[in-house]
Amino acid sequence: MAVLEIVEIPDARLRAVSKPVAQVDDAVRRLIADMTDTMYDAHGIGLAAIQVGVEQRVVVIDLQAEEGEDGKPIRNPQAYVNPEILDVSDELSTYSEGCLSIPEQYAEVVRPARCRVRWLDENGTAHEEELDGLLATCMQHEIDHLNGVLFIDHISRLKRDMVVKKLNKMRKMG
C-alpha cells in the first residue's frame, strides 16, 4: 500500500507528453498498484501516471458505481497501459468533470459520447473495446492527461479563468 502525492496545477509536469510503456513488467505492476491506492485515497474515479509524477502511459479507472449491502464500495480497479483511441462517435455527451490535479473544481465538458479504445492490461494482454457513458468520458479525460491536456483546456477561457481563480482562493483560505 503506497499512497503517492498528486501533482496539481500549475505544475509543468501536467503538460508533459507521457512515454509509451515498452514492457508491462513488475515495476509497471507496482506503479499500477500504487496509483490504485492513490486513486481510492483521493476518492477519484481515474488517475493517470503523470498525476503522480510518472511520465508513462499508464491509467487506472474504477467508476465505483455499485455499493455492497454494507454500503461499502465494490472495488473493481482496471489498469490501462498505452491506451489508444481508435475511433470516436459523432454523438457528443456533456459531463460535469473534475480532476484530482485541479481539486474541488468542476465544469461541463463536451466530448464524443463513445470511443473505441485499445490498451494492454497489467499482464500485457491486448484488449479493444467500445466504451460509452461515464467510462468513455473518464477514459478520454485520462488519455488527455497522457498527452498533457487538462479538462479546463476544453472549456471557454472565461470559465477556465473562473476555475483557476476559485482554486487559488480555496488554497488561500486553506
Enumerate binding residues for ligand GNR (CB under 6 A). 44-48, 51, 95, 97-101, 137-138, 141-142, 145
Rule CB under 5 A: is residue 81 a binding residue for Ni ion?
A: no
Catalytic residue among 8, 69, 104, 142: 142
55 is catalytic: no
Residue nearest to ligand GNR (CB): 44
- Tell me how far apart the alpha carbons of residues 8 and 137 are, in angstroms, rounded to a whole number: 21
Helices and strands (H, E) in the chain, number of each type: 3, 7
Report the SS3 class of residue 79: strand
Q: In angstroms, how far is the first alpha carbon of the chain from the final one?
A: 28
> Is the CB of 10 or the CB of 126 nearer to Ni ion?
10
- Determine if 99 is a binding residue for Ni ion (CB under 5 A): yes
Which residues, at least 6 apart from 2, have a Cβ–Cβ distance to it below 8 Å?
Answer: 33, 34, 37, 38
Interacting partner of 95 out of Ni ion, ligand GNR, none (Cβ under 5 to 8 A depending on kind) = ligand GNR
- 46 vs 83, which CB is nearer to ligand GNR? 46
Quick one: 21 or 99, whose CB is closer to Ni ion? 99
> Is residue 32 involved in binding Ni ion (CB under 5 A)?
no
Amino acid code (one letter) for 93: S
Angle at 28 between CA 23 and CA 31, to 5 degrees: 165
Is 35 a binder of Ni ion (CB under 5 A)?
no
Residue 14 has, within 13 A of its CA and on its CB side, a CA count of 19
CB of 39 to ligand GNR, least distance (A): 7
Residues binding Ni ion (CB under 5 A): 99
